Chain A
Amino acid sequence: MPKIAAHLRGRSWLVVKFLAAPVFAGLLFAATHAAAAEVVQIAYIDPLSGPFASTGQLGEEHLRFAIDRVNAAEAAGPGRRFELVAMDNEVNPEKSLTLLRKAIDGGIHYITQGNGSSVAFALSDAVAKNNRRDPTHAVVYLNYAAVDPGLTNGKCNWWHFRFDADSDMKMKALASYLVGRADIHKVYIFNPDYSFGQSVEKAAIAMIGNQRPDLTIVGAERVPLGKVTDFTPYIAKMRAVGADAVVTGNWGADLTLLVKAAADTGFNATFFTYYLGARETVQAVGMAGKGDAQISEWHENVDAPAIDKMAAAFNAKYHENFYYWRVVDMIDTLAAAMKEAGSTDPLKVSRVLSGMKFSTPLGAEEIRADNHQLLQPMYISVLAPDMPHMFPGVPLGFKTIKRFDAEATRLPTTCSLKAPD
């Protein structure tokens, strides 16, 4: 009983501190504004606890790395520094909205997020409403990994900028490669059963079916995320229809289990994936992943020495493999836009970002003015032995089998954005 009394005491202290926090934050904000050095806070709203924490943590490390680079070079303009404010949303849309509110209260005008299209839709929608209702607290939303095409089509808005190719763009690249492979005749499409998987499936059927007389789609299946323990029956089904390629948007544990089940049962089709590239996944899949393909904007064996150096620095600092080149790209681009705008005002910066053209060590890139989707070069690569860069514990590395120019990934959009007044 008395223990609890103490506990309660602790709690009420917490409440006081907590209620006082906005006031302090406000004071702090005023103080920093008065000073010469201008700090631009970027709120990072992603999972930092719970089952998806490792992905969120990886994103945070990349953001910190990218921000350190920008600050060291004063790339956002003289005296202008970026600062990351990490917020744990547990991939929960409702919690994300509350955190967005908190960020807005704290005077933050830039947020970034990547995990979960559900969160992305919620944030994009809330940001648009907030900016309309309260323009002085406008927020720019930088999306580094949520790939639902809807975000830059039916549900697009001015304040959302996406730095990852959407699932349709990735499928366009995958499909053009697949259709060109004369040895592939029967394709099986296998996806997680939520909107991302559904859009992958739709795109795959549209882009792969009817392209070549001897190339058919022999099956399309969706399974609930994280609910299947044993994938063998699904492999048996694929095997029964004679599939020689499997296109899958599955990720994380489901992808690992799928690829391992295929290897265990001796099913030899090539898996064309969206998310094989994460170190955690490659390590879990092990040699079973040999020969399987992924689509990405970069991988360790892309010939770009400047990024190699970056990757080496990142690996040394965080004991993790550099993975999100696009996060560095995104922060660099934001810094460049601020420098060009000569301001950190969200509207001014967003006007610069919209339609911005620039080049990176990988080639020319463009943020489309009509839907704020970044066009960037894409690579299809397969896990192969004897590569210069291989994964720790697994003697495999990604090997480019096809590169696409940024322009080649452009798709029609239903969106046409206009800057707000």
Chain B
Amino acid sequence: MEGLLLVLLNGLVYGLLLFMLSSGLTLIVGMMGVLNFAHASFYMLGAYFAYTISVGLGFWPALIIAPLLVGGLGALVERYGLRAVHRHGKLAELLFTVGLAFVIGEIVPLIWGRPAVPYRVPAVLDFPAFALGGINYQAYRLFMMGVSVAIFAGLYAALARTRLGLVIRAALTHPEMVGMLGHNVPRVFTLVFGAGCALAGLAGVIGGNVFTTSPGMAEALGAIVFAVVIMGGLGSIPGALLASLAIGFIQTASVTLDTPLGVLLGRLGMAVDPHGALAEITIARAAPAVPYLLLVLVLVVHPRGLMGARAD
């Protein structure tokens, strides 16, 4: 019982973390249709900015300033880069962000050096808040979960309930129409991209000290955020939350299972050599591959993702 509770709790923690990491990407993909491969780079910039600011001013000012800086940078990138490639199509936009990720990945170590920087969790939140099954949960983890939930609530409310949200969603499907109604569509896109980058930056501020703030952190974040966004259904905020939690729970649960994969496949009716290579892999070992397996499965069964409105 306690074991199950622990899995649920850890799954929830991990799921909310994933949502926080991918929320900015969800926004950009959903509202602009741009698969921003530089998302992880903006996440990294958020962490580095926060480190530099926290050295001078402390963590809390960094929590506000760093995402704003990253968001501003994102807006500039949209205005002077992305907008220019927009007319060449989606592929060009995507490739532009790939190149951008490459360049940011090279510039960051030039400024902050190649080794990791000592960016640490603020002392006020660096204490065990509660324990379950002998495992302590840091107050900072709770803070992280809180921020994640706040991001969800904020995004959901902003897009579904406000006039701005309405304009943004309309600008995606009917840009000419919205333009004719007197809204500045390009500026809406700049705003959205900036906001998405700011969210990536915020994730960096909060994640950078729990994990490590190093030039490799963007690459370490990797494809998982894409798995979340795609699985949730391109651009669906509730979908991304659902996908994050699904990945969180399933991956955490798989970690606890030491059953060999061969046995599992055997039960599914597949003949597996009991001494072969597959028989040796336990479900726990395969756990980190779970998000991608889920991704492929979800897309096979339901091409638009869990809650997606659009197929492409």
Interface residues of A (CB under 8 A from B): 49, 51-54, 57, 193, 221-224, 226-230, 232-237, 239-240, 252-253, 256-257, 260, 264-267, 279-280, 283-284, 286, 393
Contacts and interface: CB of A to CB of B under 8 A. Distances in A.
Contact of B133 (A49, A193, A223, A236): A236
A286 B120 contact: yes
Given A240-B133, A266-B135, 19 more contacts: A52-B216, A54-B114, A221-B284, A226-B219, A228-B288, A230-B13, A230-B17, A232-B135, A237-B256, A239-B135, A240-B3, A253-B214, A256-B212, A257-B211, A264-B136, A266-B134, A266-B136, A283-B115, A286-B118
Nearest to B136: A266
A221 B285 contact: yes
Interface residues of B, number: 45
A229 B224 contact: yes
A209 to B, nearest CB: 17
B114 A53 contact: yes
Interface in B1-37: 3, 6-7, 10, 13-14, 17-18
A253 B17 contact: no
A265 B136 CA distance: 4
Contacts of A57: 114
Q: Is the interface of A mostly helix, strand, loop or mixed?
A: helix
A221 B221 CA distance: 22
B220 interface: yes
Given A193-B285, A233-B10, A233-B255, A266 B133 contact: no
Contacts of A193: 285
Given A239-B135, A256-B212, A232 B288 contact: no
A239 B137 CA distance: 14
Nearest to B121: A264
Nearest to A281: B116
A367 to B, nearest CB: 32
Contacts of A52: 216
Interface string B243-259: 00000000110011000
Contact of B211 (A224, A229, A280, A393): A229
Contacts of A264: 128, 136, 138, 141
Contact of B256 (A51, A222, A233, A266): A233
7 contacts: A52-B216, A221-B284, A229-B224, A230-B10, A233-B7, A237-B256, A279-B115
Contacts of B186: none
A197 B136 CA distance: 28
A233 B136 contact: no
Contacts of A283: 115-116, 118
A51 B106 CA distance: 10
A227 B288 contact: yes
Interface in B205-221: 210-212, 214-217, 219-221
Nearest to A394: B118
Given A253-B212, A257-B212, A284-B118, A233 B14 contact: yes
B79 to A, nearest CB: 21
B212 A239 contact: no
A138 B255 CA distance: 49
Of the listed residues B3, B131, B214, B251, the one surrounded by the most CB atoms of chain A closer than 10 A to its CB is B214
Interface in B68-99: none
B14 A230 contact: yes
A223 B285 contact: yes
A190 B136 CA distance: 21
Contacts of B128: 264, 266
A253 B216 contact: yes
Nearest to B216: A51
A140 to B, nearest CB: 29
Contacts of B284: 221, 237
Of the listed residues B14, B131, B211, the one surrounded by the most CB atoms of chain A closer than 10 A to its CB is B211
Nearest to B15: A230
A54 B134 CA distance: 37
B142 to A, nearest CB: 12
Given A229-B211, A239-B133, A284 B116 contact: yes
Contacts of A239: 133-135
Contacts of A265: 135-138
